[in-house]
Structure 1
């Protein structure tokens, strides 16, 4: 009789598991001895592990040496590309001088210093039906003017609130404008772009020209954007053209009580010993478009900025670039909204409603009372 003492003391499921494990090992040994199976497994492993860097590592030293030579050529290409963009900047400066007389006349029409002639104010639509309709309307207007010569319609000077309307139309700008900024921006008469002189580091300046107003004494507020157009020594292959690397604002000479970039709060303080209460006032930063002229500085000491600061700086650079490339050259089209429609047609991304993420708003202390700037 066979000795069943071992199997009698072990649960049947454990015995079955041991048998299955033994069978699996035997089957695995048989499969691994099949050349076709091994080849298929090797192909799968090659596909999984293959990356450009792993492939380069497998190349002979002689081939790697030639690849290094190609990289040196690529660096030289990057430096030539940088030179190309420097010459583009020179061309921008040259043509900016040609545009400026037209922009100066634009300002005269906006401010009302000069009234356009009939020839200058004539505009033909690309749509013939619109032209015909405009002609009919014009004829009716002429007749109506003759019949009601005494009832003249309002004729304001220039184009009122031209630049302020652009700020309202462009989302990127309207998000920065607070209600108390609006009366100030209505005094904005012109925005200019000035390019750095030949031989100077690449940069451009935005000039915001204001008429005399009750808020500050400056006639011009400036924002300078410094640019870099050379490959990074540590990472030359990342070069993709000029980039804004820093910016400087200007000092706004606010009139008394008109500074919208700060607010005054009152706070009650209780003395620990005597129990007396006193009220103090202090100034704290206030959200305003005019903080645009007191920008965050890029870190120049090798220390990295925190994530929020980097985002703020990147947004500032984007706004400066948008003023330079879009707003100033095509101002009338942003005033009428035509340029905004064009921008919307070329926007990337899915259409539809976007879920708005609402963050927690920071409230003021219960005892704090805000004193808003006078506008």
Structure 2
């Protein structure tokens, strides 16, 4: 049996967030449009994080980028800022496509683009599977400069001749290792064929398994490589494990809930069934709890995601659907109720 009191003491001593030292650059150093700088500062960014310092000036030169950086270090702004800077707002055409693996991440990324570009006349659209194709078709007959979406839906609209990519000079792949899994890679490669030969590709992820190499060699022969992964975890995030039998897990969780200072927590399980059962159990113990998984209707998923982000509930139980790039500032505790299936899943 593990020493729960010792674990609780150690958890109480954790500093939660830290970002490694920067070079001291300022956003003004990149000669960005004044309207974009206004959006950056209004979003609360004071100066670039390390991944932003490395990525923004290189992306602005038009070079391909292969970047590894930890989750939570400002990756989204590292590619959104140069994308917004390079878009010609007077040109009525899709000039940037951002591909992500999940609907939730697409919504979050498009929101960041809209906030950063709020003083620019740039039209941002998000499109994902599980939503109305007809609505997307209608929207694409209006001006769109920046498209955020999941590969299958973007490819579908492109094949139909609705999404025109002949003027798209920048393709951004966030969570690139996931986008190059067997589930997505065929769609990504087909999509690249619709882009002009002079296109720029930016690939961002925390992990780059060997499967990425063949893709890189084919489509990014000479990328600028950024690797900020000297360690696999963010500074300030401390990890603990409780070695318990299956029947002790809920008791352990209940004790942690009663003792920890939780702003919001995300709890991962390995199956849809276990997610629903654990969420029911947590609710029965008297704690507020939502759950989310891939088999839920998209409207329901969107509502849960939105409400949890806005603080309507303290705890969220989910499958690894929710591991990729989701940035919710109030979450200060992450619990793996089940042992993750892969190292990459745990890291993300």
TM-score (norm 1): 0.18
Larger radius of gyration: 1
User: By percentage of residues, which structure has more helix?
Assistant: 1
TM-score (norm 2): 0.19
